[in-house]
Structure 1
Amino acid sequence: MGKTEVYSIGRVIVDLYANDIHVPLRKVTAFNKYLGGSAGNTAVGLARLGAEAGLISRVGDDEFGVFLADKLREEGVDTGMVKIDPQYPTGLAFAALFPPSDSNVLFYRKPCADAHVSLEDIDFDALKEARVLTVSCTVLSQSPGREATLAALEANHASGGLNVLDLDWRPMFWTGAEEARVYYRAALRMADVVLANEPELSFAGGSDEPAEAAGRLRSLGVEEVVAKRGGDGVLYYGEEEFRIPPASVEVLNTLGAGDGFGAAYTYGLLQGWPTRKRVAFAAAAGAIVVSRHSCSEAMPSRFEVEELMDSAQRV
């Protein structure tokens, strides 16, 4: 493994996804177990694409924590900043799937290990050597994770690295929207790139009109706003504005698609690709993820993404 060039900070949990499709959780009898959580998925996605990726998070001192740490290492993710929490358990998420567009997720994370990543867990010398930091913003929802994340953003920004924020807005993890906006705004002022689905962009940008919401985020210093809109494609707001249409796939599970998108977009940044190529590559990666059962296990290789892009161009 070479020098880590990109770190993800935030959630890493165990996903338990129903084997039965279109069955509510109360009636599900069997689940598949996967590594999950936005930051964990993103780190795996980056590693599968070929990036030297690391994760900054915590797991519980339990069997699920061992499972996550082992899985990260198997995927080639740097786990030097994945610490074992002595008090809190590994978080869990149970999901019932109702394709093509719906899912029901039940979280067990009050409290849980990854929310307690702390300043002491971060190797700031290693972080300064990286080129990109990606943040899944749920980590801002409570202390000490929020302070650790803001410090990491500040350190990466000061060392000339790019900060990529996946807004990951989940109201159930916050006491209220106004509290959330305070911490989101602090993070956004240090962000270079923002990735957001429709509700997230409306929340952070204070408008249901994508262009207006993106403009407000860019007024804070954000250079690029990439709006993920599912079947409506992707909207890009930066020095230019454009739309990329969606790739055509059969949808099985929309969970994790945004993480696959974010990993692929960040990979494009690391490669120095032109904007439109980054967006198209990320859209194709997200499409592959929605066609598969899991999140992390669904993350594609670069070959798979480029194959889908080539096949779409031939149609």
Structure 2
Amino acid sequence: MFDLVSLGEILIDFTPSGTTKQGIPLFAQNPGGAPANVLAMNSKLGGSSAFLGKVGPDHFGAYLEHTLKCHGIDTSGLAVDEEIPTTLAFVHLDETGDRSFTFYRKPGADLQLTWTEVKKDLIDACKIFHFGSVSLTDDPCRTAALEAASYAKSHGKIVSFDPNYRPVLWKDPHSAHQWIAKGISLADILKVSEEEMLLMTNQSDPALGSQILLEQGPKAVFVTLGEHGSYYRSQSCHGLCPAARVNTIDTTGAGDAFMGAVLWQMRDLTLEEIAAMDLREIVSFANAAGTLTTTRSGAIPALPSLEEIQHFKNNQEMPL
């Protein structure tokens, strides 16, 4: 039995890594892709996990498979496209560490995953199934992701969804809204950023936006607010859990660390228990995971350990 199975993109994040003597920017090859990042956080905390996705027949694909295995993630559901290269993303950071992306994905191997290639036995063996909207931008992966989420839900699995909205990957916001809404309709656990909440609810207030999202079906909604922490809502509780002050270097993967930490804590819970419990302690732990991730470069390489998160929570939290 796997605590968590995730479907979606796995790719190379080329992240800023200084400059040459001539001042030419350098980029470091980092493993990335939100669903893979979430699994890596879950695994680093001690959870069992498996990945469903697709890479190309190249060095990058082999490197990503090796990375998953090194983190104890089952790769039996990782397919290889014999023609399309592994997807690449270049990360650009501003002076505060916030990032933007340039994708090399037209075509990219992650988009080529088909429903027939999805190993349903991995979904059968999981407690929680997780996916995101980057897989919903184009077919055949769009159909594979939605069919897999529907299959998981119909087989009694908890379904988790993170829109992980990247405007550059969508034809327009209307198309993104249409397909993200389908993802939300399947979700039991939902995480959104401020930007994603605004896109889906036309609300910038997390108290109002989270209520609208909860009414669309999820049992628990989390709104990540960057340096201000996270807002959480279920039928039984809601509130803001503040973040801590740190020296932010790179925000890549912070939301995925948050989500991985949330799902790890919920791995043995039922939907009824999730809906009825006080979520604040779960969010406090997840905030610490996400915050610590911003103090290092990259996504998977920056993920903190359980001991680091606990130490940070106990000794270094200073609410904004």
Fold in common (TM above 0.5): yes
Residue-by-residue CA offset, 1:102-153 (whole Å, 9 max, x unaligned): 3343221111001121112212132022110111211111101111111111
Residue 213 of structure 2 is aligned to residue 217 of structure 1: yes
Give the secondary-structure state (helix, strand or coil) at the position aligned to 1:89: coil
Instruction: Indicate if the aligned counterparts of 1:5 and 1:52 stay in contact, CA closer than 8 A.
Output: yes
The aligned counterpart of 1:4 is 2
CA distance in structure 1 between the aligned counterparts of 2:102 and 2:243, rounded to whole angstroms: 28
The aligned counterpart of 1:16 is 14
Aligned alpha-carbon RMSD (Å): 2.0
Q: 1:94 to 1:4 in 2, by over 3 A?
A: same
Residue-by-residue CA offset, 1:146-185 (whole Å, 9 max, x unaligned): 1111111111111211111111011111112222222222
The aligned counterpart of 1:299 is 303
Instruction: Indicate if the aligned counterparts of 1:18 and 1:28 stay in contact, CA closer than 8 A.
Output: no
Residue-by-residue CA offset, 1:13-44 (whole Å, 9 max, x unaligned): 011111128x9xx9644222111111111111
The aligned counterpart of 1:200 is 196
Question: Unpaired runs of 5+ in structure 2?
Answer: 270-276
Instruction: Write the letter of the residue equivalent to 1:297.
Output: P
Which stretch shifts more, 116-125 or 50-59? 116-125
CA distance in structure 1 between the aligned counterparts of 2:208 and 2:86, rounded to whole angstroms: 39
Give the secondary-structure state (helix, strand or coil) at the position aligned to 2:259: helix
TM-score normalised according to structure 1 size: 0.93
Deviation of 1:83 after TM superposition, in Å, equals 0.5
The aligned counterpart of 1:287 is 291
The aligned counterpart of 2:63 is 67
Which stretch shifts more, 279-288 or 269-278? 269-278
The aligned counterpart of 1:163 is 159
Instruction: Indicate if the aligned counterparts of 2:244 and 2:317 stay in contact, CA closer than 8 A.
Output: no
Q: 1:222 to 1:16 in 2, by over 3 A?
A: same
Give the secondary-structure state (helix, strand or coil) at the position aligned to 2:30: strand
Give the secondary-structure state (helix, strand or coil) at the position aligned to 1:217: helix
Q: 1:30 to 1:120 in 2, by over 3 A?
A: same
CA distance in structure 2 between the aligned counterparts of 1:261 and 1:206, rounded to whole angstroms: 24
**How high is the sequence identity, in percent, across the aligned residues?**
26
Deviation of 1:271 after TM superposition, in Å, equals 4.7
CA distance in structure 1 between the aligned counterparts of 2:113 and 2:194, rounded to whole angstroms: 28
- The alignment covers a number of residue pairs equal to 310
Question: Unpaired runs of 5+ in structure 1?
Answer: none
CA distance in structure 1 between the aligned counterparts of 2:148 and 2:24, rounded to whole angstroms: 40
Deviation of 1:97 after TM superposition, in Å, equals 2.8
Instruction: Write the letter of the residue equivalent to 1:256.
Output: G
Instruction: Write the letter of the residue equivalent to 1:52.
Output: S
CA distance in structure 1 between the aligned counterparts of 2:213 and 2:178, rounded to whole angstroms: 14
CA distance in structure 2 between the aligned counterparts of 1:64 and 1:309, rounded to whole angstroms: 36
CA distance in structure 1 between the aligned counterparts of 2:23 and 2:208, rounded to whole angstroms: 43
Q: 2:32 aligns with which of 36, 43, 54?
A: 36
TM-score normalised according to structure 2 size: 0.91
Give the secondary-structure state (helix, strand or coil) at the position aligned to 2:313: helix
The aligned counterpart of 2:47 is 51
The aligned counterpart of 2:120 is 124
Which stretch shifts more, 166-175 or 26-35? 26-35
**1:129-278 to 2 correspondences below 5 Å:** 129-239=125-235, 240-272=237-269, 275-278=279-282
**1:107-122 to 2 correspondences below 5 Å:** 107-122=103-118
Instruction: Indicate if the aligned counterparts of 2:47 and 2:264 stay in contact, CA closer than 8 A.
Output: yes
